[in-house]
Amino acid sequence: MNYPTIPPIDFEASAAARKRQNSLTKPLGSAGYLEDLSVQIAGMTGSAIPDCSRKTVILMAADHGIAKEGVSPYPPEVTPQMVLNFLHGGAAINVLTRQVNSAVKIVDIGVAFDFGEIPGICHRKVARGTANMLTGPAMTREQAESAIRVGMETADESIDNGVQMIATGEMGIGNTTPSAAITAVLCGRAPAEVTGRGTGIDDAGLQRKIRIIERCIAVNQPDPGDAMDVLCKIGGLEIAGMAGVVIAAAARRVPVVLDGLISTVAAAIAVELVPETKHYLIAGHLSEEIGHRILLEKLGLRPLIQLNMRIGEGTGAVLAFSIVDASLNLLRNMATFEQAGVSDKV
């Protein structure tokens, strides 16, 4: 599979942004990480005063064969039902995107339900869900590659239409199970160390979920050094799709704000496939799912907010858009010491 070339970070732009931050009417460095974030985004976009006002969340929906094994308290029918809820504007992601003035793009990349030609959904179904990874690979290599391609094309289309910042979001009952499995394999951890409660499975359910993940890894023997092998065997269609979004966005210098565990797993796969994508990632929030912290540490990413959220859909990433806006608005709109006639440090 061919991936686009990722441009290097523009250090001239980031140095110019740092210089401007240092000239603004506040004690030197006093906006803390908001300053660093604006400098990072300048380097990503190649602009000393970046404009990331046009934003979208790309929300990939897909089903999981493993959901049959009772790894989630909710039934798989919730996946298509929630897709319709997204369409009608009633989900958490709709409320938050309205609040922060972001668009939302809903992609059926693998829901096990026929939506027909309903407008408002990008109909890019690669398969009707993954196979049950307890008995063999979740996807064929062709399916995983097609899903990555769908993600790349979806991101490219948004960027062609003027989008300057992308959040990744997902919907797929059962998807914290492949996400924990991939985290275990990529981080070299035992499933028990990285498996969380997802939508809220009870203690007995959590123990069962861990055993199932152990068996999925034992049955499939994914090669930790081969991200495509890991993705096919113990991944998901929306995870592959979001990996594609990360790759295409990075290739176009568009920063990607990650949501929770599932979204970050997709980014980790993208980084394994195309290492330079790493420089275009922003961690939106720290999710309650325990593997998330471990994976963010591996990626060297600092989450912008921590509100004990575990919704998914891109909600944590979209909420973090407000922090990004704060960071870029300060850089763009504050007066310098010279402009305001304020005395600088002696």
Which amino acids are annotated catalytic?
313
Binding status of residue 175 toward ligand RBZ by CB under 6 A: yes
The residue number whose beta carbon is nearest to ligand NIO equals 260
Residue entry with tokens 């492949």: 178
Q: Which of 39/286 has CB closer to ligand NIO?
A: 286
Q: How far apart are CA 239 and CA 178, in angstroms?
A: 9
| Binding map of ligand RBZ across residues 62-81, x = CB under 6 A, - = no contact | ----------x-x---x---
- Sheet with 121-123, strands from edge to edge, namely 121-123, 103-110, 55-62, 165-171, 256-258, 281-283
Total residues interacting with ligand RBZ, rule: CB under 6 A: 17
- The candidate with the shortest Cα–Cα distance to 255, out of 340, 161, 190, 165, is 165
Candidates 24, 173, 237, 258: give the one binding ligand RBZ (CB under 6 A). 173
Q: How far apart are CA 213 and CA 182, in angstroms?
A: 10
Partner from ligand NIO, ligand RBZ, none binding residue 260, C-beta < 5-8 Å depending on class = ligand NIO
Q: How far apart are CA 140 and CA 133, in angstroms?
A: 11
Candidates 43, 50, 110, 172: give the one binding ligand RBZ (CB under 6 A). 172
Count of other CB atoms within 10 angstroms of residue 294? 17
Q: How far apart are CA 65 and CA 68, in angstroms?
A: 6
Binding status of residue 14 toward ligand RBZ by CB under 6 A: no
Q: Which residues of 27-46 are buried (b: 16+ CB within 10 A; e: fewer)?
A: eeeebeebbbbbbbbbbbbe
Candidates 109, 134, 171, 242: give the one binding ligand RBZ (CB under 6 A). 171
Residue 2, classified by CB atoms within 10 Å of its CB into exposed (0-12), middle (13-18) or buried (19+), is exposed
Candidates 110, 198, 236, 284: give the one binding ligand NIO (CB under 6 A). 198
- DSSP, collapsed to helix, strand or coil, labels residue 120 as coil
- The candidate with the shortest Cα–Cα distance to 325, out of 248, 257, 246, is 257
Q: Which of 63/156 has CB closer to ligand NIO?
A: 63
Shortest reach from residue 60's CB to ligand RBZ, in Å: 10
| Binding map of ligand NIO across residues 8-47, x = CB under 6 A, - = no contact | ----------------------------------------
Partner from ligand RBZ, ligand NIO, none binding residue 261, C-beta < 5-8 Å depending on class = ligand NIO
Candidates 110, 174, 241, 255: give the one binding ligand RBZ (CB under 6 A). 174
Partner from ligand RBZ, ligand NIO, none binding residue 289, C-beta < 5-8 Å depending on class = ligand NIO
Binding status of residue 312 toward ligand NIO by CB under 6 A: yes
CB–CB of 240/231 below 8 Å? yes
| Binding map of ligand NIO across residues 260-299, x = CB under 6 A, - = no contact | xxx------------------------x-x--x-------
Binding status of residue 176 toward ligand RBZ by CB under 6 A: yes
Q: Write 299-306 long-range contacts (CB < 8 A, 24+).
A: 299/264, 299/267, 299/268, 299/271, 301/258, 301/264, 302/33, 304/33, 304/37
Give the footprint of ligand RBZ on residues 247-276 (CB under 6 A): none
Shortest reach from residue 291's CB to ligand NIO, in Å: 8
Stretch that binds ligand NIO, among 46-54, 131-139, 242-250, 258-266 (CB under 6 A): 258-266
Residue 126, classified by CB atoms within 10 Å of its CB into exposed (0-12), middle (13-18) or buried (19+), is buried
Which positions lie near ligand NIO, rule CB under 6 A? 176, 198-199, 259-262, 287, 289, 292, 310, 312
